[in-house]
Amino acid sequence: MTLLSWPGRAFISFLLALAVVLPLAVVSAEPAAAAAHWTVTGPSSRSPVTAELTLEAGTLKLSAARQGRTVLAPAPLGLRTERADLSRDLRVLGQSQRIVAERYTMTTGKRHDRAVRARETRFRLAAGDARFELLVRVSDDGVAYRYLLPDEGGTVVTGEASAYRLAPDATAWLLPYNPQYENQRVETTAAGAASGEYGHPSLFRSGTDFALLTESDVDGSYSGSRLVHEAGSPDYTVKLADERVTTSRTPWRTAIIGDLATVTESTLVDDLATPSKIADTSWIRPGKSAWSWLSEHQSPRDFERQKVYVDFAARNGWPYVLVDEGWSEDWVPELTRYARARGVEVLLWFHWQTLDTPEKRAEILPKVKAWGVKGVKVDFMESDTQARYQWYDAILADTAALELMINFHGSTIPHGLARTWPHLMTMEAIHGQEQLPQPANNPVHPFTRNVVGSMDFTPVALEVGPRTSSVGHEVALPVLYESGWQHFADKPEAYDRHPNALRFLDQVPTTWDETRYLSGYPGDEAALARRAGDRWFVGAITAGPARTVTTPLAFLGAGEWLVETVRDVPGSVDVRRESRVVRSSDSLSYAVPANGGFAAMACRAEPGRTTCDQPIQQVPSTSLTISPADAGDREPGSSFEISAEFRLESDRVVRDVVLAPRVPSGWSLAGEPVRAAEFRPGQVLSGKWTVTAGAGTGKHEVPIAADFLDPSLDWPEVHVAEAVEVFVPPPVPSDGALVSDLPFVSAANGWGPVERNRSVNDQAAGDGNPLRIGGVTYEKGLGTHAPSEVTVYLGRGCQEFTALAGLDDETTEPGSAVFEVLGDGAPLAATPVLRGGDAALAVRADVRGVRMLTLRTTDGGDGKNHDHTDWAVPRLTCLR
C-alpha cells in the first residue's frame, strides 16, 4: 500500500513559517499474512528521494531510490534484545505519519541558518509479545531510520540486524575502521572491498547517484557503530561497539542520497540531531588559531615560544592560540593575560583521562576558566562505546555550564553533536595533517568526512611535513575543509615567508552562511565555494598530475564581482595574488602543478574598490602597571596593599572600563572597582585595594584587570590584566621528611601527572605501578616522566637531600634520562645519562640555605618516549 498523498505547497509553506511538527494521519495495519509494501516519499511532490519498506515472511527490509533509480536495495531492519529477537516474525500493528518542519541556527558548519523539511512515518511493530517502533524519515537529501523501545527503564540491546545493500559494482570510498577514525580511505567497489570493518561515513556511487552512509543523534543512551562487510557481498551490516547496550532508542541510521553536490552540501546529520541544549550562545566564538605542536613538538612547554605564537596571532587578527600537550600551570595564567591584552584567547590541550571523572572536571575546568582560558582541546578518547559516549555527554554539559568551548581530538566522528551542543567547535576523526599525509586523500574528505561536521584537519602546512602538495593546494584547504576552529599547522616564520598565502589566511573565515559544490570527484579534484556575509571564498585542489582546473562562477549573483586569486606560479616559493572583474557567467581556470590548487575571494565590484580584504582587527594598545609585582611570603590572615594604573595608548576611545582585582577563594578584598564610562587616549585610571590572605599554602596570584569595550571591534570585549604574586608558605619540613609526602609548590610532567609512591605509567592520576628500578621495588618516592619538574618548599631549614634515581622497570624500551637537583634555580647535583634496566643511582645534594628545592628530569637527548623516571626514597635531612 502507499501512504496518503502529500499536501500542497501552500500548506508546506504554512508549516515552515510556523516551524511546527504536525501529525497527519493514522492508517490501520495490513493483514499479517500478506506481503506488504509501504512507500515513504520526500517532503514534496517533486522530492527526488523515496524509501520503501517491505514485510515478507516476518522480515522487514528497507530500500531507497532517487528519481526512480534504486540506490539502496532492500536490506534487513530490526534489533536483537535480551528478551526477544525483533528482526524476525515481525508484524506491523499500525502506522502514523507527520510532517517535520523546523528551523534552527548553528554556530559552526557549512550553513548558519538551517531549514528542515521531511516526511516521517512511525511504524508500530511486534515480534510475538514484544513491541517496538520504527521511525522512517525521508527528506530531499536522504533517508534515515531509528528504533524506539517501549521500556522506559531501558531495553538491553544485544545487536542490530540493520544493514545496507549496494549495487555490487558501486564505487566505494571506505575508511578501514579504527576508533579514532584516522586511517586513510580506500577506493574500491561495494562487493570488491576486503572483508572487515569500515567506519562512518562511507561513500558509494552507482551511476549518477551517491549514498553517504553514517549515523546521527548518537549520545550516551546508545553505542557507536561501524559497518561490517564480507568480500564478494554488496551488504554492509551495522555492528555496535558494545555487546550489550541499555537504551530506549537508537540513533538514526542515515543515508545521504543525491548527486555529488547534494551529498556535499547536505546538513542531514545535523537536521536529525537533538536541538540545542544551550539557550544563550553569545559567548561562543569560532575562529582561527595559531598552533605550535606539529611544527615544533616541544614548543608547548616553552612559555617564551608560546608568546611568539600569541604575537603572531595578534598581528594577523587570529583570535586564538592553542597550547598543546606539555603546557605548565606555572605559566599558563601569565600567558593567558599576555594574550588577552593583545586580543588573543588561549585554548588548552588535555588528555581525556585528565578529565574522565566528575571530580576531576570539577577541580580542573573551573581553574582554567579562572585563568581566562576560553576553550579546551580534549584528546585520545578513541572509543565508540556507550560508556565513552556518556563521558562525551558529561563533559559537554560541564564545559557548557562554564562557558568553555571544546574540541574533541582522537575522537569519534560528528553525529550532530554541534547542533545539540553549539560550543563544540570541531572534532578530529580524520587522517589529518598530524599524520603527515600525502595529498591523495585530500580531495576525498570534502565528499566524506567533512560532510557530517567540522573537521580538525589542522591545514596549511607550508614547510612542515612531506611538502608534496603545492602552496596553492595548502592555502585552499581552509576553504575546502570546514572547521569552527581552524588550527593552522605551521610556525609563524613559515607563514611570514609566504606573505601572499598569509594574507589570504588572514581573510578566510571559519564559519559560513552558504556552501556550494562547484566541481570535482573524490580522490581526483575538489572545488567548493563558501559564502560569509557578502564575500565568497573558493578553494580548489587536485591529487595527481599537473592539469588545468576550471570552476564555474554561477553561484555569484548578478552584476560584476571583483575576484582575487592566489595560485602557484613556476619558480616562486609563495603563491601569486591576482585580481580581475568577472560575472556569474564566467569561470576561473588555472593551470596547477601536480597535487596543486588555488584559492579565491570574491566581493561586489564597486567604483574605486581594489581589494576584497577587510581590515585586520586588533585591540587598542594599553598599559597596566601594578604594585607590588611580588608581595612575597604572606601568612594566612595577614593583609597587604596593592595598586594599579591603567592607560590607553591608542587613538581610539573605549567605553565601560572597569579596573579591579580578583582574589583567590577564601581571601578577602577591601576597596571598590574603579570605573570610567568613556575612556580617552592619555587618561589614567588608578586604584588601591587591601588584600587579606586566606588559608591554603603555596603560590597564589591576585590578578588586577581592566575590562572594557571597544565598539570598533566585532568582538568588543577586551581584557587587560597583570597579577601580584603571593606565596603562603607551608611548614618547613621535619627531619627525615620524604619529598613524596610534602605539598608540591609546582609540578610538571612529560606524560600524565606526577605520581606519589607509584610509577607514572599512563595519563590517568593514580594509574601507576609500584616503583621498581633495576628489579628492586621501593615503597616511597615520585613517579615522573621526563621532562619533569617537582618543586617543594624547604624554607632554608634543611641540610641535605638524598634519593635513588633511575628509570622505572615498566619502561617498555630502553629510555634514557638525566636527573638534576636544583636549589632556588641553581644546580646542586646531577646524574649521568641513565637508561632503562640500569640499577638505581644514589643522588646527594647539599641544600643548606635553600628555600625552594626542584627535582628535574630531562630526556637524555633522544626524545622523551619511554622515559619513566623515578625518584625513590627522596629524603631530607632538616633542622627540626
Q: What is the largest CA-CA distance in the chain?
A: 94
β-partners of residue 669 are 691
For residue 321, give the nearest of 312, 331, 330, 334 by alpha carbon.
312
The tens digit of pLDDT for each residue in 347-377 reads: 999 999 999 999 999 999 999 999 999 999 9
Q: Which residues contact 571 (CB under 8 A, 6 or more apart)?
A: none
Q: How confident is the model at residue 33 (pLDDT cuts 50, 70, 90)?
A: low
Q: How confident is the model at residue 5 (pLDDT cuts 50, 70, 90)?
A: very low
Taking residues 543-556, report their average pLDDT.
97
Q: Distance between CA 101 and CA 18 in Å, rounded?
A: 8
Range of lowest pLDDT (314-328, 457-471, 562-576, 805-819) = 805-819
The pLDDT, as a whole number, for residue 319 is 98
CA 197 to chain centre: 25
For residue 697, give the nearest of 791, 826, 799 by alpha carbon.
791
More confident residue, 31 or 576: 576
pTM, two decimals, is 0.92
Q: Distance between CA 681 and CA 674 in Å, rounded?
A: 17
Q: Domain map of the chain by residue range?
A: 9-271, 287-534, 622-728, 739-878
Q: Distance between CA 830 and CA 157 in Å, rounded?
A: 59
Q: Distance between CA 114 and CA 265 in Å, rounded?
A: 12
875 and 736 Cβ atoms separated by less than 8 Å: yes
Q: What percent of the chain has pLDDT over 90?
A: 91
End-to-end alpha carbon distance in the chain = 92
Architecture of domain 9-271: Distorted Sandwich (2.70)
Taking residues 25-46, report their average pLDDT.
71
Active-site residue list: 379, 434
Taking residues 742-749, report their average pLDDT.
93
DSSP secondary structure code for residue 455 in this structure: B
The tens digit of pLDDT for each residue in 150-177 reads: 887 789 999 999 999 999 999 999 999 9
More confident residue, 326 or 229: 229
112 and 106 Cβ atoms separated by less than 8 Å: yes
Distances (CA, A) of 549 to 357, 420, 470, 519, 521: 51, 38, 14, 9, 12
Query: Does residue 31 surpass a pLDDT of 60?
Result: no
The pLDDT, as a whole number, for residue 538 is 98
Q: How confident is the model at residue 455 (pLDDT cuts 50, 70, 90)?
A: very high
Query: Does residue 18 surpass a pLDDT of 80?
Result: no
Pairing between β-strand 674-679 and β-strand 684-692 as defined by DSSP bridges? unpaired
Query: Does residue 800 surpass a pLDDT of 70?
Result: yes
Domain 739-878 CATH class label:
mainly beta
The tens digit of pLDDT for each residue in 392-451 reads: 999 999 999 999 999 999 999 999 999 999 999 999 999 999 999 999 999 999 999 999
SS3 152: coil
Mean pLDDT of the chain: 94
User: DSSP per residue over 60-82, as a string?
Assistant: EEEEEEETTEEEEEEEE--EEES
The pLDDT, as a whole number, for residue 10 is 38
Range of lowest pLDDT (2-6, 52-56, 321-325) = 2-6
The pLDDT, as a whole number, for residue 1 is 30
The CATH fold assigned to 287-534 is TIM Barrel (3.20.20)
The pLDDT, as a whole number, for residue 106 is 98
Range of lowest pLDDT (88-102, 202-216, 557-571, 757-771) = 757-771
The pLDDT, as a whole number, for residue 104 is 98
Q: How confident is the model at residue 34 (pLDDT cuts 50, 70, 90)?
A: low
Q: Distance between CA 819 and CA 810 in Å, rounded?
A: 18
The pLDDT, as a whole number, for residue 815 is 86
SS3 39: strand
SS3 29: coil
The tens digit of pLDDT for each residue in 752-766 reads: 899 999 999 887 788
The pLDDT, as a whole number, for residue 334 is 97
β-partners of residue 598 are 540, 567
What's the CATH number for 622-728?
A: 2.60.40.10
The pLDDT, as a whole number, for residue 170 is 98
Q: How confident is the model at residue 7 (pLDDT cuts 50, 70, 90)?
A: very low
Query: Does residue 13 surpass a pLDDT of 80?
Result: no
The pLDDT, as a whole number, for residue 673 is 98
Which string of b and e fits 795-819 if b means at least 16 CB within 10 Å?
A: bebbeebebbbbbbbbbeeebbbbb
Query: Does residue 569 surpass a pLDDT of 90?
Result: yes
* Burial class, 348, CB count within 10 angstroms (exposed 0-12 / middle 13-18 / buried 19+): buried
The tens digit of pLDDT for each residue in 631-670 reads: 999 999 999 999 999 999 999 999 999 999 999 999 999 9
The pLDDT, as a whole number, for residue 127 is 96
Query: Does residue 577 surpass a pLDDT of 80?
Result: yes
